[in-house]
């Protein structure tokens, strides 16, 4: 089978979409040929049966040039692919869907986001199938929708037991995500301050991995930095910026637990990567209520409760490997399984 894949960014180092590089590698080993059209091209290392075509964002192309190249590529290579897999961009389905359907090609849309808008509704009409990660990550009702898991590369995110076996007074906490006012990082920093006040004899550190997107995000990050200075935490709290996705396994391996405060209402890939790495996860998101045996849940904005949880579960003894969490990811969100389901849909 020959497959056309459309995605926003092809860059294994991209902090948000770098994970898709592993998806393409997996797909390339199971198809005759893979043609990838991306909006922006960065660093990649893919097999010889993969050809990549960029719409030119990395070179400063404008929207008219994007559109012109899009139609050039889907027409020029239409005999080089049997079916189409669109990753996270309903716009591509709207632009190309009628042609692909007319040519007898299946059109699979992958979509994981709480937003429901006109573009998504139109893409749902034109796609032949929609895959999503969980019931919360696609909020339109359609018979075309199938829940297949997030697709975590378990070969990449592995357990490093040594980080949990060395007896030490040092505890390294991790927060990962977009730095934005909706992420409630104040609660994390205030909790950290409370722990520092009551556990002065212990070395406790907090690393914040993530970047800003908008101007309000940047203002929020600066306010958080100012807060750490005011509370005299600068020597223990680090803002590390947006981490390259290719380096994230090393980041998880260097910490003892992940604190998660996202309010998206759906299962977050960051949490699954941490679980796959064997980390205990403390979260305020209601999306994990049904996973209470895998994560530790605290109420949003509850500094006292989060502090008590860290004291009882992490500071009272060396944190333990979260084997159950990794087993859950392997069972429900394994990349191998997701790729198999994608290919099964196209060949049946």
Residues 124 and 111 in one domain: yes
Query: Phi, psi at residue 260, to the nearest 5°?
Result: -130, 125
Which pLDDT score, from 0 to 100, does residue 235 have?
Answer: 94
Q: Are 273 and 152 in contact (CB under 8 A)?
A: yes
Q: Is 7 helix (H, G, I), strand (E, B) or coil?
A: strand
Q: What is the mean pLDDT of residues 317-346?
A: 94
Model confidence pLDDT, tens digit, residues 47-74: 999 999 999 999 999 999 999 999 999 9
Residue 166 has pLDDT above 60, yes or no: no
In this predicted structure, what is the pLDDT of residue 202? 87
156 in a structural domain: no
Q: Residue 216: which domain range?
A: 162-330
Do 90 and 130 have their domain in common?
yes
pLDDT band at 164 (very low <50, low <70, confident <90, very high): confident
* DSSP secondary structure code for residue 201 in this structure: T
Query: Does 157 map to a domain?
Result: no
Query: Do 321 and 342 have their domain in common?
Result: no
Task: Assess whether 193 and 337 both reside in one domain.
Answer: no
Give the pLDDT band (50/70/90) at residue 115: confident
Name the average pLDDT for the chain: 94
pLDDT at 168 over 70: no
Predicted pLDDT at 200 = 85
Query: Do both 240 and 294 map to the same domain?
Result: yes
Residue 77 has pLDDT above 70, yes or no: yes
**How far apart are alpha carbons 301 and 307 in whole angstroms?**
11
> Are residues 337 and 325 located together in one domain of the fold?
no
123 plus 167 within the same structural domain: no
Instruction: Specify whether 146 is located in the same domain as 177.
Output: no
Report the CATH number that the domain containing residue 111 is assigned in CATH: 3.40.50.2000
- Please tell me what DSSP assigns to residue 334: B
Residue 117 CB partners (closer than 8 Å, separation 6+): none
SS3 state at 272:
helix
| Integer Rg of the chain from CA | 22
**One-character DSSP codes across 131-181:** EESSTTS--S--TTEEE----B-TTTS---THHHHS--SEEEEEEES---G
Indicate if 275 and 302 belong to the same structural domain.
yes
Do residues 254 and 325 both lie within one domain? Answer: yes
**pTM tops 0.95, yes or no:** no
Instruction: Give the number of domains in the chain.
Output: 2
Q: Is residue 26 located within the same domain as residue 134? A: yes
The answer to whether residues 182 and 202 belong to one domain is yes
Instruction: Give the model's pLDDT for residue 262.
Output: 84
Average pLDDT over residues 240-263: 92
Answer yes or no: are the C-beta atoms of 238 and 200 closer than 8 Å.
Answer: no
Which tokens sit at 84? 């189409």
Identify which has the larger pLDDT, 317 or 59.
59
- Cα 112 to chain centroid distance, Å, stands at 10
Does 15 reside within a domain?
Answer: yes
For 111, list phi and psi in degrees, rounded to 5. -145, 125
């Amino acid at each position: 089978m020959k497959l056309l894949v459309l995605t926003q960014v092809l860059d294994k180092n991209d902090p948000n979409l770098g994970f898709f590089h592993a998806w393409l590698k997996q797909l390339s080993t199971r198809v005759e040929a893979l043609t990838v059209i991306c909006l922006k091209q960065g660093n990649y290392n893919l097999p010889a049966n993969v050809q990549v075509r960029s719409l030119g964002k990395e070179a400063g192309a404008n929207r008219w040039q994007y559109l012109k190249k899009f139609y050039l590529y889907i027409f020029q290579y239409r005999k080089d692919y049997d079916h189409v897999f669109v990753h996270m961009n309903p716009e591509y389905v709207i632009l190309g869907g009628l042609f692909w359907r007319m040519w007898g090609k299946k059109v699979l849309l992958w979509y994981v986001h709480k937003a429901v808008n006109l573009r998504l509704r139109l893409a749902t009409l034109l796609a032949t199938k929609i895959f999503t990660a969980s019931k919360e990550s696609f909020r339109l009702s359609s018979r075309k929708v199938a829940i297949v898991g997030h697709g975590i590369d378990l070969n990449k995110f592995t357990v490093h037991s040594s980080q949990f076996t060395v007896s030490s007074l040092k505890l390294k906490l991790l927060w990962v995500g977009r730095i934005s006012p909706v992420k409630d990082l104040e609660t994390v920093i205030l909790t950290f301050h409370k722990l520092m006040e009551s556990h002065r004899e212990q070395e406790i550190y907090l690393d914040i991995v993530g970047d800003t997107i908008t101007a309000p995000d940047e203002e929020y990050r600066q306010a958080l930095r100012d807060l750490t200075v005011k509370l005299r935490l600068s020597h223990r709290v680090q803002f590390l910026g947006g981490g390259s996705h290719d380096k994230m396994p090393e980041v998880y391996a260097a910490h003892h637990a992940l604190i998660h405060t996202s309010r998206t209402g759906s299962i977050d890939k960051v949490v699954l990567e941490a679980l796959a790495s064997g980390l205990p996860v403390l979260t305020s998101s209601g999306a994990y209520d049904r996973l209470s045996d895998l994560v530790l849940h605290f109420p949003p904005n509850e500094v006292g409760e989060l502090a008590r949880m860290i004291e009882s579960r992490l500071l009272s003894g060396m944190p333990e490997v979260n084997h159950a969490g990794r087993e859950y990811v392997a069972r429900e969100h394994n990349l191998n399984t997701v790729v198999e389901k994608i290919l099964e849909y196209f060949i049946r």
